[in-house]
Amino acid sequence: MKPSLHPQEEERLTELRRYGILDTEREKDFDELVEIASEICETPVSVVNFIDEGRQWFKAEVGLGVRSTPIETSLCGHVILQGDFVEIPDTLRDERMADNPLCTSEPGFRFYAGAVLKGANGLPLGTLCVLDNKPRTLTDRQRKILMVLSKHVMRELNLRIALEDERVLRREVDHRVKNSLASIGAMLSMKARRTSHEALKLELDDASTRIRSLASLHAELHELEAGGHIDLKSLFERVQADLRYLIPESATLSIEVDAFEATPQLANALLLIVNEFVSNSVKHGAKDGIGAITVHINGGAGSWSIVCRDNGKATKLDAERAMSKSGLGTRVIHSLANSLSANAEWEATGDGMELRVAPQHN
């Protein structure tokens, strides 16, 4: 007997497609769940399946060897029309499955037990089920474990939905922040052109360039979230031009990067460390507005290091304060280092401040 359509079939299919799980590759997280289900329930077959239009598609399976079957022969297509858990001790004694070739063939599926997978709106999407070639029943413990495993399937899918929603929201927020910074920078620049007060004009121009620099830096950080690996040399060539607006005209900034690719997490952290060091140097370390800041990033993805230096007025006491995280900038840098399982070391060299950040070695 072919399964009937769900009373809310269109809504059900819309909810299923919202999860974006159909026709995806096999994944260890789901494969392990069906392996556990098959072992605990002592059945040769276990699957995580979703009832699509015209087919039954398997995200994970043990003992089946296929990724989809026609809806006409789907046992789970019947089950999703029932409650949360369905157990059929002998399929040939069930009128819905007695003529199903998957059950009548040799060796056919004579036993079925499945926990229904439901979407956030309560509509059934598929099942986590186990099958055997002989009639039987599950124990209470096996039924309970099968239900728990089904909840793990949906918890994983719902988590992915939540993470994607968060990424969409963050992209929208990032877009608005970038536009806001650009608008503020343009407004300050306009006010600078209109004022006749020379000192105020210089202050407004300075504020405008700094805000445009922040907007550009924000855009770089946003791009890093796209995934994949980042060419650090190319990234910091762009960033150096932006950071140049943060330092006095008479000062110099040099960023040298040995070419290697980094994960977005590492690239993001290094970018923020450099930004904080440059900001701190301008605020505390430059000699009367004249100075030099250098940054050297080298190594590989697993053995990288970054050295930042300025030729300001840093003393031994300044280095101790930086190590104790007394300021916001130094706290940010130490926090970023911790996120990378790295150490941040500050030293007053006599010719300025030096910051070294490198992964911890066990």
Which CATH number do you get for residue 136? Answer: 3.30.450.40
CA 254 and chain centroid, separation: 32
Residue 35 lies in a domain: yes
Select the more confidently predicted residue: 361 or 87: 87
Residues 161-203 pLDDT 10s? 888 877 776 666 666 666 666 677 677 777 777 887 877 777 7
**Domain boundaries, position 51:** 9-161
Answer whether 0.75 is exceeded by the pTM.
Answer: no
Nearest to 106 by CA among 86, 127, 92, 89: 92
Beta bridge partners of 62: 46
CA distances from 5 to 9, 43, 100, 342 (A): 6, 28, 17, 57
Between 12-21, 69-78, 314-323, the lowest mean confidence (pLDDT) is in: 314-323
Last residue of a domain, one of 146, 161, 176: 161
Collapsing DSSP to helix, strand or coil, 59 comes out as strand
Q: Give the pLDDT mean for 17-46.
A: 94
* C-alpha–C-alpha distance, residues 166 and 163, integer Å: 5
Residue 4 lies in a domain: no
Taking residue 213's Cβ as centre, other Cβ atoms within 10 Å add up to 21
Q: Are 6 and 12 in contact (CB under 8 A)?
A: yes
Residue 133 lies in a domain: yes
| pLDDT level of residue 49 (50, 70, 90 thresholds) | very high
Residue 171 lies in a domain: no
- Tokens read off for 351: 């010719």
pLDDT over 90 at 118, yes or no: yes
CA angle (292, 293, 297) in 5-degree steps:
145
pLDDT over 70 at 216, yes or no: no
Percent of the chain with pLDDT over 90: 44
Domain count, the chain: 2
Residue 168 lies in a domain: no
Identify the CATH number of the domain in which residue 356 sits.
Answer: 3.30.565.10
Q: Give the pLDDT mean for 304-311.
A: 91
Last residue of a domain, one of 123, 140, 161: 161
pLDDT over 50 at 8, yes or no: yes
Select the more confidently predicted residue: 74 or 246: 74
| pLDDT level of residue 288 (50, 70, 90 thresholds) | very low
Beta bridge partners of 56: 51, 69
User: What is residue 207's predicted lDDT score, i.e. its pLDDT?
Assistant: 67
* C-alpha–C-alpha distance, residues 301 and 281, integer Å: 27
pLDDT over 90 at 84, yes or no: yes
Last residue of a domain, one of 161, 183, 214: 161
